[in-house]
Amino acid sequence: MKQINTALLSFGMSGRVFHAPFINLHKGFHLAGSWERSKKQIQEFYPGTHSYDSFEAILNDDSIDLVVVNTPVYSHFEYAAKALKAGKHVVVEKAFTSTVSEAEELKAIALEQNRQIAVFQNRRWDSDLRTVKQVIDSGVLGEINEMEIHFDRFNLNLSPKKHKEEPNPGAGIMRDLGPHVIDQALYLFGMPEAVFADLRVTRPDSTVEDCFDILLYYPSFRVRIKGGYIVKEALPAYIVHGTKGSFLKSRADVQEADLQKGLTPGAPDWGTEPEEEQGLINYDKDGTTTREKIKTLQGNYMEFYNGVYNSLTQNKPMPVTVDDGIRVMKIIEAAFQSSEARRAITVID
């Protein structure tokens, strides 16, 4: 089995929690190491890996096939572009870039270098979204009329990560939580025709937008996506209404929490939600109203790296393509334009 030699650009939370465990476990990848600027920790977790002292050391390492760009958003374009030009394939964390133009330029560079890009949108493989998609695809709700997707938290304190809270091209909730729910909407329904958005600053000491309410216009239905930090009692994260029924589901995927605890993915019960988090469906069946719980599918972030491996070894499409990343950036830019102008903005795929 061909192995993809892989290096991370950071071994902070994202590298330690979301990337290294899966790369290390997957038989098709070899975790070569990570760029570590101050704390040298990767070898404690993964003996035999290398702690790179600089980005250039990774670029100059001819054995590296794949670079994971998991640094602050404002740096994604620079690092991804340099890695592509050095002959590496790249996985880029969300938000893909700071702007649409940067995203489109990365696509052009990848084509020119004959390299591939995947955008890390792991929440496509959350247990809750997988279940919502199954219910929608089954047709049991009839024609979809409207849907809401929430990513709500309660925390008035600013993040200690200054790159998220101090004004810069990658700061703010739209490039932090926003890409998750935007990508989920586009994954389910494709690109909308237009975007209407209200972006606000709500926490006492915040200097960047930390609340969004976005309406996506589709020809026959609407999708509303919301996120913020002042939601003490959250609504269901997914609310779907159709001509035959409704489905409500909490955001209850356990993978991030388990990874934070140091649990290793791959166990038979990996990504299994508690039964009490099962979604509620209310629909018409054979003229009778049926109201029942729906068993939640298992979540599995390994599917992302399975897809990356198949792409690099079998020339299959990336699990989240560069075009997917560009589309999310188009929605983000349209949301900022809409909020400032207080009107709907047409988007073109």
Identify each DSSP E strand in 193-266 by its residue range: 194-200, 211-217, 222-228, 238-242, 245-249
Domain at 4-122+304-318, CATH class: alpha beta
Question: Quick one: pLDDT at residue 167?
Answer: 86
Contact of 305 with 312, CB cutoff 8 Å: no
**Model pLDDT, residue 27:** 97
The closest of 187, 191, 211, 207 to 199, measured between CA atoms, is: 211
* Domain range list for the chain: 4-122+304-318, 124-299+331-346
User: Measuring CA to CA, how many Å separate 194 from each of 151, 287, 314, 344, 349?
Assistant: 21, 36, 36, 6, 11
Q: Strand pairing partners for 51? A: 34
List Cα–Cα distances, 32 to 5, 7, 21, 145, in angstroms.
6, 5, 13, 48
More confident residue, 30 or 167: 30
Q: List pLDDT tens digits, range 66-80.
A: 999 999 999 999 999
Q: Kindly state the average pLDDT of the residues 147-162.
A: 92
Q: What is the DSSP letter of 154?
A: B
- pLDDT at position 48: 96
pLDDT digits (tens, 9 = 90+) for 6-47: 999 999 999 999 999 999 999 999 999 999 998 899 999 999
Q: Is this prediction's pTM over 0.75?
A: yes
Share of the chain above pLDDT 70, in %: 100
Question: What DSSP string runs through 208-224?
Answer: S--EEEEEEE-SS-EEE
User: What does the pLDDT average to over 198-203?
Assistant: 96
Domain 124-299+331-346 maps to which CATH number in 3.30.360.10, 3.10.20.30, 1.10.3720.10, 3.50.50.60?
3.30.360.10
- Nearest to 128, CA basis, from 244, 264, 272, 232: 272
163 pLDDT exceeds 90? Answer: no
Comparing 32-36, 94-98, 245-249, 287-291, the range with the smallest average pLDDT is: 287-291
